[in-house]
Amino acid sequence: MDIGVLLPTGTAQWGPADDPRELVAFGRQAERAGFSSLFVNDSLISPRIEALTMLAALAPATETVTLGTAALMPFLRRPIQAAQSLASIDLLSGGRLSVAVGAGFPGRFGRPLYTLSEVPWERRFARLDETVALWRALWDGAASFHGEILRFTEVPPTIRPSRAGGPPIWLGGATPAALARTGRTYDGWLPYPPDPADYASGLRSVRKAAADAGRMAEDITPALFISVRIDDDIDSGRRAMDAYVQATYGMPLGELEKIQAVVTGSADQVLERLRRYAAAGVRRAVARLGALDLRSQRDQLERMTDLIPALLTPADRASASEDA
């Protein structure tokens, strides 16, 4: 398993004196520390730096890390303009972009966003899949697209990404339908199940759907989104994570742990939990750090850095030694 980090782009993760321009330096620090990727999330509900703007700022400021979304909500943007923005970021980063997408959820994190975007809630999954198909067609040079929902004729030439076919596109979600769609058409899977056993069973379903569609298991990156807080004092660590969850979701930690992957505790306890996910099949993890200001975020980043060598495979460790 390799480890990436979710940048704290939301104002709920900033202290009163924090400067959001520090986020670029935060990303560079993570890259130097050995994190494999920098991810950002996407929303109109809570105030945050817009996802693609943040990635565009990181593209020339970093060199090797993957830049990703966890997860981008395509319905918030015009589909052709989004294809242009994503291709531009892929070019500016030298082909380092990965795009995890989602359709939103019922309740305050879903339907209101569709209203604000003037997009119908109905058939949202079909709209998501067609948007991804449109992006891929445009990145391959298509001049028109005719789906059930999205139809465009005489599309002028758009900018092409760094890589043929464009950046890999992952799907977030773990419903049976999402697992089947991931296996059939997506390049990666980015869920957040609380139990590693559920991850393992979901991954089996993804791979079966892939095989049924004539695809290879290795065509799909098995990834994980997980919230992490490392503290020597376990009780104070849980209190800090609870404050983070309350500020982010407006719910107690105990409720979030029922629906999302969350791990708190000592470094050894966090490492053991991550190893359980690795045994379940995870090869890329995106860690959201549970801290409510940039200084505390950097402290958690340093604590996570110490875990990276223990999660690398022998081949990865050998490669890292050669690079050093």
Per-residue pLDDT reduced to its tens digit, 92-114:
999 999 999 999 876 666 778 88
274-302 pLDDT per residue, tens? 999 999 999 999 999 999 999 999 999 99
Taking the CA of residue 251 as centre, how many other CA atoms within 13 Å lie in the half-sphere pointing to its CB? 10
Residue 171 confidence class, pLDDT cut points 50, 70, 90: very high
pLDDT digits (tens, 9 = 90+) for 1-25: 999 999 999 999 999 999 999 999 9
Q: How far is CA 114 from CA 46, 219, 234, in A?
A: 15, 31, 40
Amino acid identity at 200: A
Which range is least confidently modeled, 105-109, 130-134, 135-139? 105-109
SS3 assignment for the chain: CEEEEECCCEHHHCCCCCCCCHHHHHHHHHHHHCCCEEEECCCCCCCECCHHHHHHHHCCCCCCCEEEEEEECHHHCCHHHHHHHHHHHHHHCCCCEEEEECCCECCCCEHHHHHHHCCCCCCHHHHHHHHHHHHHHHHCCCCCEECCCCEECCCCCCCCCCCCCCCCEEECCCCHHHHHHHHHHCCEECCCCCCHHHHHHHHHHHHHHHHHCCCCHHHCEEEEEEEEEECCCHHHHHHHHHHHHHHHHCCCHHHHCCCCCEEEECHHHHHHHHHHHHHCCCCEEEEEECCCCHHHHHHHHHHHHCCHHHHCCHHHHHHHHHHC
**Per-residue pLDDT for 315 more than 80?**
no
Residues 218-277 pLDDT 10s: 999 999 999 999 999 999 999 999 999 999 888 999 999 999 999 999 999 999 999 999
- CATH number for position 296: 3.20.20.30
Q: How high is the pLDDT of residue 107?
A: 66
- Comparing 30 with 324, which gets the higher pLDDT? 30
Domain extent, residue 50, equals 2-323
> Residue 45's pLDDT band (boundaries 50, 70, 90)?
confident
**CB-side neighbour CA atoms (13 Å) of 117:** 21
pLDDT over threshold 60, residue 316: no
How many folded domains does the chain comprise? 1
Question: How much is the pLDDT for 324?
Answer: 42
Distance CA 202, CA 225 (A): 14
Question: Contact, 22 vs 306, CB < 8 A?
Answer: no
Q: Quick one: pLDDT at residue 13?
A: 93
Q: Which long-range contacts (CB under 8 A, 24 or more apart) does 315-323 make?
A: 316/2, 320/34
Statement: residue 31 has pLDDT above 70? yes
- pTM summary value: 0.94
Contact 6, 289 (CB under 8 A): yes
pLDDT tens figures, 208-220: 999 999 999 999 9
Q: How confident is the model at residue 321 (pLDDT cuts 50, 70, 90)?
A: very low
